Amino acid sequence: MSIQHHPSEELLTAFAAGTLDRGQHIAAATHLGHCPACRGWVKSVENVGGAVLAELPPAPMAPDALSRIAPRLAEAPHQSASRRDGDSLPDVPGLPAFVRALPAEPWVWVAPSLHVRRIELGGTSPTRVFLLKSGPGTKLLPHTHTGFELTCVLTGSFTHDNRRYAVGDFDMGTPEDEHEIEIGTDEACISLVAMQGTLRLKGVFGRLLQPLISF
Amino acid sequence: MGLAMAGEPVTPQEWSQCLSAVATHQDRAAFARLFEYFAPRVKTFMRRSGADDAAAEELAQETLLMVWRKAAQFDPATAGAGAWIFTIARNLRVDALRRERGVSARAGDIDAEFLIDGAPTPDAVLAGQQADARVRAALKELSAEQKRVIELSFYQERAHGDIAAVLGIPLGTVKSRLRLAMSKLRILLDDLS
């Protein structure tokens, strides 16, 4: 089973550069955990970062810059505290360790065959991150976004515009798209979603459901 | 160390040797050479990322302090010295930006966020120095402008806007040039493999 849908090179470059917001970073990291090819590209960009850094013009440091940190060199070598990460999402496969350690709310029912579980970022990231669980064969209502939406499949599969997304696949929705998504019939589909803005459901039924999805 | 090692180390091999000397016997002279070369460049990196002079100086010092403390974790078989120091500077910058926004995070947390589980594939990830050489060769094939926009991709959005203003071109143009330059770089890196 190989991954068909990858994040854009720009998104992966921004990941390696450390310039993504935290929600986007989490979505990209989730895909990277599944995708050796994209990990290779991130590594390349880090090498480019090293070459860029080495060739930057130097900015003068204070004359005593080195002697000022000298006393700190004598301190015991830094061991990153052997912190035991909590695991608030033990039942969800395919998440990076640092995401599993983030506090998560319980699953919440939002519509028939559709549950949402919010992951707490504890900050002011403009991106919301949540898990979306849909029963096999569920057809999600047509909807649009007011911002972008990054999705990485963790279990099962879905079809979006005739393209099939299975475990590890990455889908990037932009505000221009109109989304009609159908979950694969074989098993429930859990995805990690990082979303800016809100969902807008289409049609009368959609407008009735709108308050439910504004979690 | 002989005379050949005196002064600024200028090749990736010498940087790797300095890091090994720090890791194996806390060699302060080797550290001083790394500091002299990299601290002023990390400072430029932080300045261009939007930090003021004092903050950039402090972040450069912290980066080199981390280089000292973590030198034993440097593995020349998997990373070039420059790339490894870059990742330390990058993580400290992410940490500093989060603090600025009132999110409490320790540097250790940021490191974990860049640690991706999963074995590397042999053909996708090159050994450190080999990768370093390949990236340098690929960068040489790019135009000065393409190199410049690639450098831009390592800074935050707001810095992109600043530099677009400096270059007198719209932000959208900076972004499209960046896209082109990265695609060319990717093709070059694939060709060199």
Residue B27 burial (CB count, 10 A):
19
Size of interface A-B (CB pairs under 8 A): 187
Q: Using a CB-CB distance cutoff of 8 angstroms, which residues of chain B are in contact with residue A126? A: none
Cβ contact A53:B89 at 8 Å: yes
The per-residue pLDDT for range B151-191, each reduced to its tens digit, is 888 887 666 677 677 777 787 887 788 888 888 888 887 76
Does the CB of B132 have a partner CB in chain A at under 8 Å? yes
Residue-range definition of the domain harbouring residue A129: 1-55+92-215
Tokens, residue B94 = 């992410």
Angle ∠(A11,A214,A32) on CA atoms, nearest 5 = 25
Interchain pair B155, A17: CB under 8 A: yes
Which among A39, A19, A17 is positioned nearest to A29, based on CA atoms?
A39
Residue-range definition of the domain harbouring residue B17: 10-118
The per-residue pLDDT for range B26-47, each reduced to its tens digit, is 999 999 999 999 999 999 999 9
Does the CB of B67 have a partner CB in chain A at under 8 Å? no
For residue A124, the distance in angstroms to the closest alpha carbon of chain B comes to 7
Would A81 be classed as within a structural domain?
Answer: no
Q: Using a CB-CB distance cutoff of 8 angstroms, which residues of chain B are in contact with residue A81? A: 108
Cβ contact B35:B8 at 8 Å: no
- Distance from C-alpha of B85 to C-alpha of A149, rounded to nearest angstrom: 32
Interchain pair B41, A44: CB under 8 A: no
Interchain pair A9, B156: CB under 8 A: no
One domain, residues B90 and B182: no
Q: What is the mean pLDDT of each run of 10 residues along chain A (215 residues)?
A: 88 92 94 92 90 94 94 71 61 89 90 89 82 90 80 94 93 78 90 85 60 53
* CATH number of the domain that residue A169 is part of: 2.60.120.10
Q: How many domains does chain B have?
A: 2
Cβ contact B62:B114 at 8 Å: no
| A52 vs B119, B124, B150: nearest CB | B150
Three-state SS at B186: helix
CA atoms within 13 A on the CB side of A118: 13
**Which whole-number Å values give the CA distances from A197 to A178, A200, B184, in the listed order?**
15, 10, 33
The per-residue pLDDT for range B131-140, each reduced to its tens digit, is 777 888 888 8
C-alpha A86 chain-centroid distance? 19
Does the CB of B60 have a partner CB in chain A at under 8 Å? yes
One domain, residues B113 and B33: yes
ipTM: 0.87
The per-residue pLDDT for range B1-16, each reduced to its tens digit, is 333 444 555 688 899 9
Q: How many domains does chain A have?
A: 1
